[in-house]
Amino acid sequence: MANVFAVHSVGSSIATFLRNTYPAEIGGRALPACDFELVSAGQLAGDGEERNRITLFLYRLSVNEHSRQSAHLRASDSRLVPLGLDLHYLMSSWGMTPQDEQVALTWALRQLHEFPVLDASSLTPDAGWASDEVIQIVPSELATEDLMRIWDAVTPSYRLSVSYVARLVRIDPESDDAQFRPVLSGRFAFGQEAS
């Protein structure tokens, strides 16, 4: 489990992993120079400089469906459970030529297919990851209509894109020191004294 920096840590770690493993050539053929960047919605359009790059844009956060009900309502202990999140990314290719755009994106897809798990050794340390922590990166189907809505909402025109989900990112509760849950209601009965 990690702290509130975990969401940023995952995206940054994916971009760093791709950047550090991108080769200059494959099979004697040179690959196009390419940058790998984690971007916000405001940065998605880029800096105006034309260059080959793959961007990773976090377009949605959702509570993991399998961890939603992990706390039992009648649990004997009062420890808070971690918040489980799924991170939805749009990986987009920005190429100077069709070949640059397609080759770099295809390489990134293959790399995430071959290495779909980030462990504590490949995640940035600022989130305070546990040594047994792993984040799984899986391809995600995104309907064409949803994809077009994303691109309509941001400044640049459509770019060749693929969606991924990084799961399960567990965020630690702020404090686990509470021994008792807060009292939300109380029941009192009024009656006559027994004589």
Provide, rounded to the nearest whole percent, the portion of the chain with pLDDT above 70.
80
SS3 state at 32:
coil
- Give the separation between CA 149 and CA 115, rounded to whole angstroms: 30
Kindly report, residue by residue over 155-165, the tens digit of the pLDDT: 777 888 999 99
Pairing of strands 53-63, 35-39: parallel
d(CA 167, CA 134) in angstroms, rounded, equals 9
Mean pLDDT of the chain: 84
**Domains (ranges, CATH) in the chain?**
6-69+79-171 (3.30.2000)
- Per residue in 123-161, pLDDT (tens digit) is 999 999 999 999 999 999 988 888 888 888 777 778 889
Rounded Cα gap, residues 50 and 190, in angstroms: 77
Whats the size of the chain, residue-wise? 195
pLDDT at 171 over 60: yes
pLDDT > 90: percent of the chain: 52
Rounded mean pLDDT of 3-13?
94
pTM of the model: 0.81
| Per-residue pLDDT tens digits for 49-73 | 678 999 999 999 999 887 655 554 4
